[in-house]
Amino acid sequence: MAQQVEKFFGIRLAIDSYIDKREYAELCQRLSGRVVEIQEAHKRKVRVYIHKLDITIRERHLGVRSLEDRLTRLNVAIRINQKAKQSGYISFVDPELVFRPDDEVEIKRHMARISYSLSGAYCARHAGYCDYIATLVADGCPARFKTLGVTATAYPAAKLKKRIDNLETATTKLQFPLTRSIQLALDF
């Protein structure tokens, strides 16, 4: 599916495989104790996949320079595969473990879903947003279950809404497989 949010708003979503070595070491340290607890509780080995959600914003798009004139709100939700959730193979790490806290970004973390809500004003002040997502995958998880679904919905400001035939929202839905090309995995 085309990235409608990028097409209409100049906002690109990606799950990035690059993680700074210093940040990666810090993430590993923060996660290691929690992963050992989870493995002991579930009596099976798990792998940790660390991803970087990367939201980048073009300064100018469709002739509208100010992002506040393009966007009122951007909502992003990341979900694990429904069958993997039901079978208990995949979950996000502890919901209280926030990697990049930001008082201006509303973040809701659950074991099967993480959602972000960014205002147009926040996006205008920052060139983008990124956060780390740690996903636990239990041994024996079928390959077809190893995916993350990302949905982004952007709400236009009045100026952009008029320019694009009263556009109400634009939604992008993407699937990211948990493969070596987009993940870093740790064995504990």
* CATH number reported for the structural domain that contains residue 85 in this entry: 2.60.40.690
CA pseudo-torsion sign 3, 86, 182, 109: positive
The backbone torsions φ and ψ at residue 139, rounded to the nearest 5 degrees and listed phi first, read -55, 145
Domain count, the chain: 1
Which token pair is 6?
Answer: 């990028």
Spell out the per-residue pLDDT of the chain, length 188, in tens: 357 888 877 888 888 767 777 877 777 777 777 777 776 766 777 788 888 888 888 776 666 667 777 888 999 999 998 888 888 888 887 655 656 667 888 999 888 999 999 998 888 888 788 888 888 888 888 988 888 999 999 898 887 777 777 678 888 888 888 865 344 555 54
pTM of the model: 0.84
Q: Which domain holds residue 52?
A: 4-187
Cβ distance 77 to 110 under 8 Å? no
